[in-house]
Amino acid sequence: MSVTIKDVAKRAGVSPSTVSRVLSNHPRISHATSEKVRAIMEDMGYHPNIMAKSLVSKTTQSLGVILPKPAEELFLNTFFMELIRGIVAQANRNGYDVVLSSGSSEQEEVDAVSRLVYGGRIDGAILLYSRKNDPVVDFLSRNQFPAVLVGRSEQHSNMITVDTDNIQAAADATRHLIQMGHRRIGFVSGPPELVVSLDRMEGFKRALQEAGLEYRKDWIVEGEFLQESGYRAMSFFMNLPERPTALVVVDDMVSFGILRGLHELGYRVPEDVAIVSFNNIALSELSTPPLTSIDIGIYHLGYTASQALIQAIQDKNKNGAAIHHQRHIVPHRLVLRESSMFSPSTPK
């Protein structure tokens, strides 16, 4: 029922092709007709039919975002939402729509993605997780389909990734504590199978060595990205004969667990133990005391992923160039709050 390019053409007394060219700002259209046609389009309320356009142009102007399975963890939920917002904002700005997809099993996921890809519904895809050996990554890589992975992965050489420089970030966090005068610093890490845990640990180590401080393996504790892990790490450190005066903590949630534990035992933060952690979630400024944290710019991460994907799609369409590996780094920044605002008096 809606008004088509032909209707406009008829009323303007020109051919459909002309109208189409007006739409795409073809250089060889006279200013006069262009004006006239535009006026009529406006008047008739013409809107191009995206499906028809896609059919012939073989491009859909939309990006697929593959959601990971339900995440129980609060942090992940806010993380993904922020990420998606960044992706959508940038996509829309470039005239792309975003199609969401998810599956409850791995097989379902692959099926859903292949339906989108082979069915020609999306021009590129963004993956929001980085399981090792992911079948969806395999699939996209095999098909030379433009795709961006948020996170780090060595799985395939032709993947575009967007990530935080976690080594740098951890080094920054650690240097801050050193600058505040701390000489005995512990590290609370995440699951050792995650690249992010390892990278942050590495950055911590480097900053220590760079400052000529000893890297003590017995002051490293591993755990999950959960409050309980923090609580446990806290007990561990507090029962040590010789204790660190400051901690670098792999995630804010974990820090909350530490804060709670220290408070229960009557220790003060930052006077007894100073804390710096990562991710700067919204809650970080509301805790007692507010947490010094590395903001990893989640929105920006999504934004960059979107940007990189669109670029890749356009490169492919233009040059037919194969996708080759790229790594985009999104800058982080240290947000100073009370939890690290204390210099231990003991010099040296």
Partner DNA sequence: CCTTTTTGTTAAAACGTTTGCACAAATCAT
Partner DNA sequence: ATGATTTGTGCAAACGTTTTAACAAAAAGG
Q: Which of DNA, a copy of itself, none does residue 15 bind to, with CB < 5 to 8 Å depending on kind?
A: DNA
Binding partner of residue 30 among a copy of itself, DNA, none, CB under 5 to 8 Å per kind? DNA
Query: Shortest approach of DNA to residue 39 CB, angstroms?
Result: 14
Upper half-sphere CA count for residue 348 (Cβ side, 13 Å): 0
**Site pattern 6..35 for DNA (x: CB under 7 A):** x------xxxxxx-xx-xx-xxxxxxxx--
Per-residue binder mask for a copy of itself (CB under 8 A), 231-270, x = binder: -------------------------x---x----------
Nearest-10 crossing angle of helices 252-264, 74-93: 150
Residues 110-129 that bind a copy of itself (CB under 8 A): 112, 114-116, 118-121
Interacting partner of 20 out of a copy of itself, DNA, none (Cβ under 5 to 8 A depending on kind): DNA
Q: Which does 125 bind (CB under 5 to 8 A by kind): a copy of itself, DNA, none?
A: none
Interface residue with a copy of itself among 20, 33, 34, 54 (CB under 8 A) is 54
Q: Is 42 among the residues that bind a copy of itself (CB under 8 A)?
A: no
Q: How many residues bind DNA (CB under 7 A)?
A: 32
- Distance linking the first and last C-alpha atoms of the chain: 81
Asked if residues 278 and 173 have their Cβ atoms less than 8 Å apart, the reply is yes
- The option from a copy of itself, DNA, none interacting with 143 (CB < 5 to 8 A, set by class) reads none
Q: Does 322 bind a copy of itself (CB under 8 A)?
A: no
Pick 71 or 211: Cβ nearer a copy of itself: 71
| Of 112, 105, 162, 164, nearest in space to 140 by CA | 112
- The two tokens of residue 253 are 């949630």
Pick between residue 46 and residue 256 the one whose CB is nearest to DNA.
46
In this chain, which of 8, 19, 41, 84 binds a copy of itself, going by CB under 8 A?
A: 84
Q: Which residues bind a copy of itself (CB under 8 A)?
A: 2, 45, 47-52, 54-55, 60, 62, 65, 67, 70, 72-74, 77-78, 80-82, 84-85, 88-89, 92, 97-104, 112, 114-116, 118-121, 227, 256, 260, 281-283, 286, 288
Which residues contact DNA by CB under 7 A?
2, 4-6, 13-18, 20-21, 23-24, 26-33, 46-49, 52-53, 55-58
